[in-house]
């Protein structure tokens, strides 16, 4: 298995299904209009019901390839003509909370797929000329979010296939998160709460326990840091 380790994940499709159906429907409607065919004439020629063709043009019919080929033949066009302009997402984005495993899984999956691997946080640090802790301490979260959107847009601008590990808090930025969902197939990683905590603390990030009155200590029986 490609993802043969103890993580939970789910993957969004490389192509947005609803957008795909809308574009196919628009292409069918345009081709029919150009040929001055009625819905009834197209339905009869493709051996489909008028209702189904109407749903197809509205982008609401999940049509099988064979039936779509029959529609293309009835319209006198190639099947590929009805699929023109449908953009396949070339980038894969890993999402999840800090400690979900993005930095561990990312390089392994990227190597298996033959894709370059990019940590967006590293690009943000390069852009700012500062480490993440310094960015937050000196400029605050709003500045970080601005860099987050700028760096992500730059990475996705030319459509180069790649795998990106996104910051855990990107969901708090509507602009950056919408950009990721529009241009990337998203892979959401999950882990047990205690695993999240331990991995973050191992990275030297004390923010999860920074406001507690006593320092967290490792409990070997529980397998987590406790106070």
The verdict on residue 12 lying in a domain is: no
Please give the chain's pLDDT, 227 residues, in tens: 344 334 444 445 555 678 788 889 999 999 999 999 999 999 999 999 999 999 999 999 888 888 898 999 999 998 888 877 666 677 899 998 877 788 888 999 889 888 999 999 999 999 999 998 899 999 999 999 999 999 999 999 988 899 999 998 898 889 999 999 888 888 888 777 776 567 666 766 555 445 544 444 544 444 444 44
Domain membership of residue 152 as a residue range: 89-201
Q: What per-residue confidence (pLDDT) applies to 6?
A: 40
In sequence order, the β-bridge partners of residue 185 are: 92
Same domain, 100 and 197: yes
How many domains in the chain?
A: 2
Torsion of CA 149, 152, 158, 159, to 10 degrees: -120
Residue in 71, 87, 75, 108 with CA at minimum distance from that of residue 20: 87
- CATH, residue 118: 3.40.50.300
Same domain, 37 and 129: no
Same domain, 192 and 93: yes
Q: How many CA atoms lie within 13 A of 174 on its CB side?
A: 0
Q: What per-residue confidence (pLDDT) applies to 199?
A: 65
Task: Count Cβ atoms below 10 Å from residue 209 Cβ, excluding itself.
Answer: 16
Q: What per-residue confidence (pLDDT) applies to 203?
A: 64
Question: Do 28 and 57 meet the contact criterion of CB atoms below 8 Å apart?
Answer: yes
- CATH, residue 74: 1.10.260.40
Same domain, 156 and 191: yes
pTM: 0.57
The bridge status of strand 184-190 relative to strand 224-226 is unpaired
Same domain, 73 and 40: yes
Q: What per-residue confidence (pLDDT) applies to 151?
A: 96
Residue in 110, 115, 91 with CA at minimum distance from that of residue 179: 91
The verdict on residue 103 lying in a domain is: yes
The residue behind tokens 């390069």 is: 126
The verdict on residue 9 lying in a domain is: no
Distance, in Å, from the CA atom of 71 to the CA atom of 174, rounded to the nearest integer, reads: 39
């Amino acid at each position: 298995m490609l993802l043969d380790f103890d993580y939970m994940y789910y993957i969004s499709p490389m192509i947005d299904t609803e957008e795909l159906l809308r574009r196919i429907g628009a292409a069918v409607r345009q081709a029919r209009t150009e040929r001055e065919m009625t819905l009834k004439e197209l339905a009869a020629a493709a051996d489909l019901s008028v209702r189904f063709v109407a749903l197809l043009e509205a982008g609401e019919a999940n049509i099988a390839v064979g039936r779509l080929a029959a529609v293309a033949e009835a319209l006198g066009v190639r099947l590929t003509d009805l699929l023109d302009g449908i953009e396949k997402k070339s980038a894969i984005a890993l999402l999840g909370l800090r400690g979900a495993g993005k930095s561990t899984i990312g390089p392994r999956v990227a190597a298996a797929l033959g894709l370059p691997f990019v940590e967006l946080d590293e690009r943000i640090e390069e852009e700012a000329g500062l480490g993440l802790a310094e960015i937050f301490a000196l400029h605050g979260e709003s500045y970080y979010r601005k860099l987050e959107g700028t760096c992500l847009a730059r990475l996705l601008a030319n459509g180069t296939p790649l795998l990106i590990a996104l910051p855990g808090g990107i969901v708090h930025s509507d602009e950056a998160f919408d950009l990721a969902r529009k241009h990337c197939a998203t892979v959401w990683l999950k882990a047990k709460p205690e695993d999240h905590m331990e991995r973050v603390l191992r990275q030297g990030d004390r923010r999860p326990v920074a406001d507690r009155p006593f320092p967290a200590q490792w409990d070997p029986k529980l397998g987590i840091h406790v106070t």
